[in-house]
Amino acid sequence: EIVLTQSPGTLSLSPGERATLSCRASQSITSKFFAWYQQRPGQAPRLLIYDTSTRVTGIPDRFSGSGSGTDFTLTISRLEPEDFAVYYCQHYGTSPPFTFGPGTKVDIK
C-alpha cells in the first residue's frame, strides 16, 4: 500500500504570496492518478485537481498541479483570502485503497 506524506504540515503565508505544497509517495506512482482537495473549516472537501494536473471545471487557474514518480506538487500562484484552508493529496486508481495524505494547512501569516 502506498503511503503519502505531505509537507510542510503548516504553511504560513500572506495573501498574494505563492504557495507550494508537496506530497511524497512511499513508492513510485506509475499512473497519472493523483488528486488534490481543499477543505475549508466546517466544510466538506472540494476536488481541485485530478489526473495530477487537470483542474476541475470552475477552479481558478491560480491552482496548478504537477509531478511524477514519488513527488507531486500543488501550487497556488497568488493566495486569495479564500485559499487559506487544509489541502489533501490523494493517490487513486482502478482498485483500492485510495490513499489520502495527512494534509497541509495553509494559514495566514
Partner 1 sequence: EVQLVESGGGLVQPGGSLRLSCAASRFTFSSYWMSWVRQAPGKGLEWVANIKQDGSEKSYVDSVKGRFTISRDNAKNSLYLQMNSLRAEDTAVYYCARGHSAPDYWGQGTLVTVSS
Q: Which residue in 98, 107, 108, 109 binds partner 1 (CB under 8 A)?
A: 98
Q: Which residue in 19, 67, 88, 106 binds partner 1 (CB under 8 A)?
A: 88
Task: Single out the residue of 9, 59, 8, 11 nearest to residue 35, CA to CA.
Answer: 59
Site for partner 1 in 37-76 (CB under 8 A): 37, 43-47, 50, 56
Shortest CB 15 distance to partner 1, Å = 26
- Of 5 and 18, nearer to partner 1 (C-beta) is 5
- Of 73 and 93, nearer to partner 1 (C-beta) is 93
Using alpha carbons, list the distances in angstroms from residue 96 to 2, 40, 84, 99: 11, 26, 30, 8
CA 66 distance to own-chain centroid: 10
Site membership for partner 1, residue 3 (CB under 8 A) = no
Beta carbons of 100 and 23 less than 8 angstroms apart: no
Pairwise CA distance, residues 1 & 58, whole Å: 32
The residue behind cell 470552475 is: 58
Q: Which residues bind partner 1 (CB under 8 A)?
A: 33, 35, 37, 43-47, 50, 56, 88, 90, 92-93, 95-103
